[in-house]
């Protein structure tokens, strides 16, 4: 990736929650592509409500899908995987399932003739999260930090959970196989 996005790309957001990154990508970045918003069944109502806020033809370029990490896999190929707040939201088991899903999407996409990348916004919250980066390498992937934002650059804190001195880092993950 040369730092530029093709407006026709297909994008999948993992763990969308309310779907803000994916909806912004659909409305303003991939204006000729398609964006899939994915999460567990219990969050689909958040996605559907926010998808209704899209304007114009963006509504026809976004889809939602229930996706349980490590269990189900989208059966299409993507140019880009995005996610935010995915790594430090639980336990080691969760990021193993996340990595399984990322690898599955990479392999499915490569079989479809694409060479996808993942961009994941991350803030360190627990020491065990370092294992995530070791597992990335063990699985034949590479990672690099492509951007970093200090907490002070993002405005005032709204809860103790998010208020720490760790910067928010944008990780770029690629399949090296």
**Domain contains 124:** yes
- Asked which of 6-20, 67-81, 97-111, 115-129 is least confident by mean pLDDT, the reply is 115-129
Q: Among candidates 102, 113, 107, which has minimal Cα distance to 177?
A: 107
Distance CA 148, CA 138 (A): 24
**Domain contains 119:** yes
Distance CA 82, CA 21 (A): 8
Check pLDDT > 50 for residue 159: no
- What band does 2 get if pLDDT is binned at 50, 70 and 90? low
**Domain contains 62:** yes
**Domain contains 112:** yes
Helix runs in the chain, H state only? 20-24, 44-51, 92-111, 130-138
Structural domain harbouring 95? 10-175
**Domain contains 1:** no
Number of domains in the chain: 1
**What mean pLDDT value characterizes the chain?**
85
**Domain contains 15:** yes
105: domain CATH number is: 3.40.50.150
- Beta strands (DSSP E) in the chain are 10-13, 34-39, 62-66, 80-84, 117-123, 141-149, 168-175
**Domain contains 5:** no
Read off the pLDDT of residues 6-63 as tens digits, 9 standing for 90 and up: 889 999 999 999 999 999 999 889 989 999 999 999 999 989 999 988 888 888 999 9
Task: Identify whether the C-beta of residue 16 lies closer than 8 Å to the C-beta of residue 47.
Answer: yes
């Amino acid at each position: 990736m040369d730092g530029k996005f093709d407006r026709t790309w297909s994008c999948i957001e993992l763990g969308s929650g309310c779907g803000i990154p994916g909806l912004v990508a659909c409305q303003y970045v991939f204006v000729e592509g398609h964006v899939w918003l994915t999460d567990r069944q219990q969050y689909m109502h958040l996605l559907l409500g926010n998808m209704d806020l899209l304007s114009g033809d963006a509504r026809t370029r976004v889809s939602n899908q229930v996706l349980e990490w490590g269990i189900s896999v989208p059966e299409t190929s993507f140019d880009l995987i995005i996610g935010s707040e995915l790594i430090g939201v639980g336990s080691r088991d969760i990021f193993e399932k996340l990595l399984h899903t990322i690898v599955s999407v990479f392999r499915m996409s490569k079989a479809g003739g694409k060479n996808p990348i993942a961009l994941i916004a991350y803030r360190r919250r627990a020491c065990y999260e370092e294992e995530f980066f070791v597992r990335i390498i063990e699985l034949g992937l590479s990672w690099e930090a492509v951007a970093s934002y200090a907490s002070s650059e993002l405005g005032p804190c709204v809860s103790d959970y998010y208020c720490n001195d760790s910067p928010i880092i944008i990780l770029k993950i690629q399949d090296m196989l």
